[in-house]
Chains A and B, each alone.
Chain A
Amino acid sequence: MSFDASLVGRFLKGDKRACARIISIIEDRRRGYEEYMEALQPHVGSAYIVGITGPPGVGKSTLINRLAAEYLHAGCSIGVIAVDPSSPFTGGAVLGDRIRIGEIALDPKFYFRSLSSRGSLGGLSEAAVDVIRVMDAFKKEIILVETVGTGQNEVDVMRACDTTVVVTMPGAGDDIQAQKAGILEIGNIFVINKADRDGCERTLRELQSMLMMNPLNDKYETPIILAKSNIGEGIAGIKAAVDKHRAYLETSGWFSVNRAERNARAFKNIMNLKILDEINRRLSRAANYEEIESQVKSGALSPHRASVQLMEYIDKKILHHSTNE
């Protein structure tokens, strides 16, 4: 499929179907998707991006539904991107985050899109970051990004957000503990959801003591908000906390520093993936690739020895060949 300028034209006029189609092209990395990113680039940059992460079952989807409604009520247009894991075996996925969207689903200022992580080959974060940019160009003022928050891929998605909200619930202290490498550092706002459950006090104390280990910042104190999203309690507080963090980023100068770093990181990640794809493509055409692979399978050749052989091939045939072109 080649680049369709009329699709971009419809997109810029606010056509939801055009937006949906462009997201698919970019998510699937279809041939020529870069041209769409390029065409949208001048329209990117005005959205504020809020990541919502936390273990399964803490109520992220319900919280997002309520928070989105709060923003819609305040007159903002909202995009939601919900990332769900796919099966590493079949690549299939059941994406169920729409279940929690209530009456706001049909609000013309609201757009919800599910993304699956599509196996473990990497590239999730790049695709998700690009989908964020598409929604940005689609004139969504606030974009909420939901992830389960485990694993490097999802931490990378959160690093593409301006403000990251980490959601937990009473009794899930161990989960936070287990995830603290990464999650505690990226959380700008913590929410203890389902706060009417037993053990809320204890979870609050645990979180407070964990946050005390973070480097001191006298300009911004990481808030912990108690919420009951199912009945809407705490949602206004979360929105206010996001506004406060945003104001801090903008006055301290971190906003533009973070965004510059994010752009650089996106560039580096995209390049790394493309280099890897290209080298793998050329390698798979190498005359003895299948032979080496079958020897590895049978155990006649160790994976390490095989990798050394292929690296020599890359060095001699691929890299050397290119420099002489």
Chain B
Amino acid sequence: MSEKIKVLIAKPGLDGHDRGAKVVARAFRDAGFEVIYTGLRQTPEQIVNAAIEEDVDAIGVSILSGAHNHCFSEIMNLLKHNSIDDIMVFGGGIIPDDDVAYLKSIGVAEVFGPGTPTDDTVKFVKANVRKGNE
């Protein structure tokens, strides 16, 4: 057995649109990753707790409700609070450019908007997680 890159795909907030999250989860699976899928309506606490328990390399957050600034900053704060600096956080969904700049300023590695080929997301994660670069 060998080391696999593990990604948590999380769906915070109240919107129930998880198609994007599922498509991305599947793309990671097909690329040989292990994906932990948390399901809908997860709180930032639940997401960070799951990331810790599953010892993932990255957290992918899909959010379409507009509450991205709040959700991402909660997640980043909780990671910081737990002294976690080796889990990469990336996002997807409908997020305005101005907000993307803000999210990057608080430590989100990348934000993938609608229409991004899943391959690009997979490649980005592979190139930027701790395990891939060891």
List the interface of chain A (C-beta within 8 A of B): 16-17, 20-21, 23-24, 27-30, 86-87, 90-96, 98-100, 105-106, 111-114, 116, 118, 121, 123, 127
Contacts and interface: CB of A to CB of B under 8 A. Distances in A.
Given A87-B29, A105-B49, A113-B53, A95 B37 contact: yes
Contact of B37 (A20, A96, A105, A113): A96
B45 interface: yes
B46 A118 contact: no
Given A17-B52, A113-B53, A93 B1 contact: no
Interface residues of B, number: 28
Contacts of A114: 36, 54
A20 B39 CA distance: 21
A21 B55 CA distance: 6
B123 interface: no
Contacts of A105: 46, 49-50
A254 B96 CA distance: 63
Nearest to B3: A28
A28 B2 contact: yes
Contacts of A24: 55
A92 B31 contact: yes
Nearest to B51: A20
B46 A20 contact: no
B120 interface: no
Interface string B79-122: 00010100000000000000000000000000000000000000
Contacts of B28: 92, 94
| A-B CB proximity, top 10 nearest | A99-B39, A92-B29, A20-B55, A24-B55, A92-B32, A90-B32, A94-B35, A96-B37, A28-B3, A29-B1
Contacts of B82: 17
B55 to A, nearest CB: 4
A64 B25 CA distance: 24
Contacts of A99: 37-39
14 contacts: A17-B52, A24-B55, A28-B1, A28-B3, A92-B31, A94-B29, A94-B37, A105-B46, A106-B45, A112-B50, A113-B53, A114-B36, A123-B1, A127-B1
B34 interface: yes
A95 B35 CA distance: 6
Nearest to B35: A94
A121 B34 CA distance: 17
B42 to A, nearest CB: 9
B131 to A, nearest CB: 10
A112 B8 CA distance: 14
Contacts of B36: 95-96, 98, 114
B30 A30 contact: no
A255 B116 CA distance: 55
A129 to B, nearest CB: 14
Given A98-B50, A105-B50, A123-B1, A92 B38 contact: no
A112 B53 CA distance: 7
A93 B29 contact: yes
Given A20-B52, A30-B3, A123-B1, A90 B39 contact: no
Contacts of B35: 92-95
Contacts of B38: 98-99
A9 to B, nearest CB: 16
A321 B80 CA distance: 55
Nearest to A91: B32
B10 to A, nearest CB: 10
A93 B55 CA distance: 15
A16 B1 contact: no
Contacts of B4: 28, 91-92, 116, 118
A21 B82 CA distance: 14
Nearest to A1: B134
A290 to B, nearest CB: 22
Contacts of A86: 34
B126 interface: no
Contacts of B25: 94
Contacts of B32: 90-92
A98 B39 contact: yes
